[in-house]
Amino acid sequence: MIVGIDEVGRGAWAGPLVVGAVLLGGASIEGLTDSKKLTKKQREVLDIEIRQKAIGIGIGWVSAKDIDLIGLSDALKLASRRALAHIRADYHEIIIDGTIALINDPRVTLMKKADLLVPSVSAASIVAKVARDNYMRHLDHVFPGYRFTGHVGYGTAAHRQAIAKLGVTPLHRLSFAPLQRYGYVSPSKVQQAPVKTPKQQGDAAELATVQYLQQKGHDILARNWRTKWCEIDIVSGYGSELYFTEVKYRRQDNQGGGIAAITPKKLQQMTFAAELFMASHRSDLQPRLAVADVTGQPPQVKAYLELV
């Protein structure tokens, strides 16, 4: 009962980072190997068989925008957690291709060339590769002229020529060195920039809270989720729990505690908003209400309190 984990898209200039997690559970599948050693047709045939026979399959995605926000290293860990969260059956070991512990779990084993040696890791590399390639193929219709089907986001000559002619898209990772000249601004510089309007202050405080939660292992599911009746600043998942976070910003410490702004009426509004979000998304996670007390310039999370 081994879960294999492998990634695809680490070095691409555009498109998401994708991590696959597969629990074969003893299923025998002929032809499993590193996805890069297979043809497109072979991968697609094996992908179908893996999905038919495996006990559990998970795929974790991190967008180019989030890679720019949190960095590639943290994006790999985030995508791995997202992939592993889909494996519901019991397992005894996690084998990760490579030398970096992307999952904080005592059952983790790191292995070079595991995608060649361990069937479950080979399967993970295949399902991740097929899923990402299919997604990039779809983007050919969304962003014509970039020929994403051919290079799937990597920095080939054809891709470089398309960027020179058409510019970058929201799919491009502007934090990558070859693309930084297209306007990348690091999150730290965004936070250090002077903010003047209340909206700018609020946006900077929310960004600080997002980064705080991601460092704690949360998956950010929504920001500024709104309906005509209510709104939620940040929705995040952590394990089996769903957090609804209200961000309260104060420019200076002497302006009173932000947490004190959560009155009984505000708590009632937050509860209603959380119930509405869960109903509309059909979530079976355990809800948690929380508030982030953010202060200073640049904003920093001074306190994070779970309310319910």
- The reported pLDDT for the residue numbered 189 is 60
Structural domain includes residue 154: no
Do 217 and 104 belong together in one domain?
A: no
Do 240 and 113 belong together in one domain?
A: no
Structural domain includes residue 301: yes
Do 24 and 117 belong together in one domain?
A: yes
Do 199 and 285 belong together in one domain?
A: yes
- The reported pLDDT for the residue numbered 162 is 92
- The reported pLDDT for the residue numbered 280 is 78
CB atoms within 10 A of CB 148: 26
Structural domain includes residue 279: yes
CA neighbours within 13 Å on the CB side: how many for 45? 9
How remote is the C-alpha of 63 from its chain's centroid? Answer: 6
- The reported pLDDT for the residue numbered 260 is 66
- The reported pLDDT for the residue numbered 130 is 96
**The residue to which tokens 């004190």 are assigned:** 260
Structural domain includes residue 147: no
Do 112 and 196 belong together in one domain?
A: no
CATH code at 108?
A: 3.30.420.10
- Which of 140, 172, 204 is where one domain is finished? 140
pLDDT tens, residue by residue, 139-188: 888 888 999 999 999 999 999 999 998 888 889 999 998 998 887 766 66
Report, as ranges of residue numbers, the positions in the chain whose pLDDT lies below 70. 185-196, 252-261, 282-283, 308
Burial class of residue 44 in the structure, from the number of CB atoms within 10 Å of its CB (0-12 exposed, 13-18 middle, 19+ buried) = middle
Structural domain span for residue 83: 2-140
Question: At residue 231, what is the residue type?
Answer: E
- Which of 104, 124, 140 is where one domain is finished? 140
Kindly state the tokens that stand for 247.
């961000």
Q: What is the 3-state secondary structure (H, E, C) of 7-74?
A: EECCCCCECCEEEEEEECCCCCCCCCCCHHHCCHHHHHHHHHHHHHHCCEEEEEEECHHHHHHHCHHH
Put the strands of the sheet holding 17-23 in their side by side order. Answer: 56-62, 17-23, 2-8, 93-97, 108-111
Structural domain includes residue 172: no
Do 135 and 194 belong together in one domain?
A: no
Do 205 and 132 belong together in one domain?
A: no
Q: How many domains does the chain have?
A: 2
Structural domain includes residue 170: no
Alpha carbon dihedral 215, 218, 110, 87, in 10-degree steps, equals 180
Structural domain includes residue 52: yes
- The reported pLDDT for the residue numbered 208 is 87
Q: What is the pTM of this model?
A: 0.66
- What are the phi and psi torsion angles at 163 (to 5°)? -65, -40
Do 28 and 136 belong together in one domain?
A: yes
Kindly state the tokens that stand for 8.
């695809």
Q: Would you call 76 helix, strand, or coil by DSSP?
A: helix
- The reported pLDDT for the residue numbered 140 is 87
Structural domain includes residue 229: yes
- The reported pLDDT for the residue numbered 308 is 66
- Kindly report the length of the chain: 308
Pairing assessment for the beta strands 231-238 and 241-250 based on DSSP bridges: antiparallel
Q: Are 84 and 103 in contact (CB under 8 A)?
A: yes
Kindly state the tokens that stand for 279.
């109903």
CATH code at 222?
A: 3.40.1350.10
Element (H, E) at 266: helix 264-281
Q: Would you call 303 helix, strand, or coil by DSSP?
A: strand
- Which of 101, 120, 140 is where one domain is finished? 140
